């Protein structure tokens, strides 16, 4: 039983459906995008204590922030709880994938996923551009991901330079519309997945100045592969490399 979106997706990659008691209801959309068909027919949960009692799983994958009641009832049904940390680097992804693979009895499958990720990263490193393009992951919000985040690791793996890394903050830095225009990155990365609902925060990215200045320079990236540390996060770096290679020549238009 998985009670966290990121462990949902990792579990779907590691074990056959018949071994999964349930995944969270949040996984349906992301799984349809990243792992088509993998979640079809798999029961879902809302990470409630009642569901733990009803399903009586042999193992529960949870985040370090899972509810205390869930943990207490897990102990009552003799279901070990394995905490899945957040991943902020590809090294974290390797560690977490192996830990979960060991926990669910699929270490060989976990190693195969890690090996595929590392092959992709090695290919990207071997073909990195001599002059990195400077980009920023910006969705019109108050902060952009900087050093120490998975987004930063993906940008670097793609052979680009993260503008946020040269700002005073570390993992996240305040970055409004005016600062974006002054910084003049060569491209804006905007997180989205087709299952995501639009938000008021996204409206800043629709500002006429942004649309005009960054015409053809807004790159959509798979938000789940930046939020969850999965072996496929290397594919997000590959997709970003391809998108950067297709940018129009020249600079932003102001």
- 29-41 pLDDT, tens digit each: 899 888 999 999 9
CB proximity list for 154: less than 8 A, separation 6 or greater: 221, 225, 226, 233, 236, 237, 240
Residues 6+ apart with CB under 8 A from 168: none
SS3 for the chain is CECCHHHHHHHHHHCCHHHCCCEEHHHHHHHHHHCCCCCCCCCEECCCHHHHHHHCCCCEEECCCCCHHHHHHHHHCCCCEEECCCCCCHHHHHHHHHHHHHHCCCHHHHHHHHHHHHHHHHHHHHCCCCCCCEEEECCCCCEEECCCCHHHHHHHHCCCEEHHHHCCCCCEEECCHHHHHHHCCCEEEEEECCCCCCCHHHHHHHCHHHHHHCCCCEEEEEHHHHHCCCCCHHHHHHHHHHHHHCCCCCCCCC
Percent of the chain predicted with pLDDT > 70: 88
Full-model pTM: 0.89
CA distance 235 to 243: 12
Which sequence spans correspond to the domains of the chain? 5-84, 130-245
The CATH topology of domain 130-245 is: Rossmann fold (3.40.50)
Name the CA dihedral angle for 43, 47, 53, 57, rounded to a multiple of 10 degrees.
Answer: 60
The predicted-structure confidence for 188-244, as pLDDT tens digits, reads as follows 998 876 544 444 445 555 678 778 878 889 998 888 999 999 999 999 999 999 999
Q: Is the pLDDT of residue 94 over 50?
A: yes
Q: Is pLDDT larger for residue 62 or for residue 89?
A: 89
> What is the percent of the chain with per-residue pLDDT over 90, rounded to a whole number?
54
């Amino acid at each position: 039983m998985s009670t966290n979106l990121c462990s949902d997706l990792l579990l779907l990659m590691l074990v056959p459906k018949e071994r999964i008691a349930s995944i969270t209801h949040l996984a349906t959309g992301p799984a349809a995008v990243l792992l088509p068909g993998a979640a079809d027919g798999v029961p879902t949960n809302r990470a409630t204590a009642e569901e733990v009692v009803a399903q009586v799983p042999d193992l529960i994958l949870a985040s370090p922030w899972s509810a205390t009641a869930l943990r207490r009832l897990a102990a009552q049904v003799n279901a070990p709880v394995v905490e899945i940390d957040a991943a902020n680097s590809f090294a974290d992804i390797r560690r977490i994938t192996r830990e979960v693979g060991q926990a669910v009895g699929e270490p060989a499958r976990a190693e195969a996923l890690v090996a595929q990720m590392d092959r992709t990263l090695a290919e990207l490193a071997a073909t990195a551009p001599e002059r990195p393009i400077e980009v920023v992951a910006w969705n019109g919000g108050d902060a952009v991901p900087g050093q120490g985040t998975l987004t930063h690791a993906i940008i670097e793996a793609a052979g680009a330079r993260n503008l946020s890394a040269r700002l005073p903050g570390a993992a996240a830095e305040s970055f409004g519309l005016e600062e974006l225009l002054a910084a003049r990155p060569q491209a804006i990365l905007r997180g989205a997945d087709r299952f995501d609902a639009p938000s008021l925060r996204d409206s800043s990215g629709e500002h006429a100045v942004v649309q005009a200045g960054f015409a053809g320079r807004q790159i959509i990236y798979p938000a789940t592969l930046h939020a969850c540390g999965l072996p496929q996060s290397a594919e997000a770096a590959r997709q970003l490399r391809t998108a950067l290679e297709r940018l129009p020549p020249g600079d932003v238009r102001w």
